[in-house]
A and B are shown apart, each in its own frame.
Chain A
Amino acid sequence: DARVTQTPRHKVTEMGQEVTMRCQPILGHNTVFWYRQTMMQGLELLAYFRNRAPLDDSGMPKDRFSAEMPDATLATLKIQPSEPRDSAVYFCASGLGEGAYCEQYFGPGTRLTVT
């Protein structure tokens, strides 16, 4: 049963600390998306990659957020320094896409709380 995995599932940290979230996409998928979900804003796209190359990171605060794909089986989202307003659920999704519609499969999310 192929699925997207994310670690950690929960993270509580203090303001100013670095946070790293990891995602393992479904094997064979070439596109990886990072989303943030809050009650107020809903699900927002932060960044996405195709074949490990960043395609769009316009939704991501550049000064503190960074996203990378060190290899095809790992995507990371890092926040440094973290702030209370970063508290949200962060989802990774993967899919097989070629520039048009790409069916996205979501992971279980990382619930981040910054105090």
Chain B
Amino acid sequence: QKEVEQDPGPLSVPEGAIVSLNCTYSNSAFQYFMWYRQYSRKGPELLMYTYSSGNKEDGRFTAQVDKSSKYISLFIRDSQPSDSATYLCAMSASNTDKLIFGTGTRLQVFP
């Protein structure tokens, strides 16, 4: 079993929909939680970063961390075709900067 599990999708939604992307993990030492967006044939880029539990909002994006359930989520409101990409969750423990990535969820937003 992988330390970080992520549904690969693909997830196909109409423009304007609310998208929910999720990851589960097994290592209770993880303290830093990130979401990266990767467009086709590009490198991943950091979208959101959260430390420990709680919510964080940035524009149309909201990241949630539930450490008791070992579950993290990324919500995208009013999704746009430009949001079509692969979304990777990543996490690390507090005593290291090694990131463990999920395999990514491919999202397609159609007009």
Contacts and interface: CB of A to CB of B under 8 A. Distances in A.
Nearest to B94: A100
Q: Interface size class for chain B? A: 20 to 34
B18 interface: no
What secondary structure prevails in chain B residues at the interface with A? loop
Q: Interface size class for chain A? A: 20 to 34
Leading 7 A-B pairs by shortest Cβ distance: A106-B43, A42-B103, A102-B97, A43-B101, A101-B32, A97-B97, A106-B44
Interface of B: 32, 41-46, 49, 51, 88, 92, 94-99, 101-104
9 contacts: A91-B43, A99-B95, A100-B94, A100-B95, A103-B49, A106-B44, A106-B45, A108-B43, A111-B41
Interface of A: 4, 31, 41-45, 48, 56, 91, 93, 95, 97, 99-109, 111
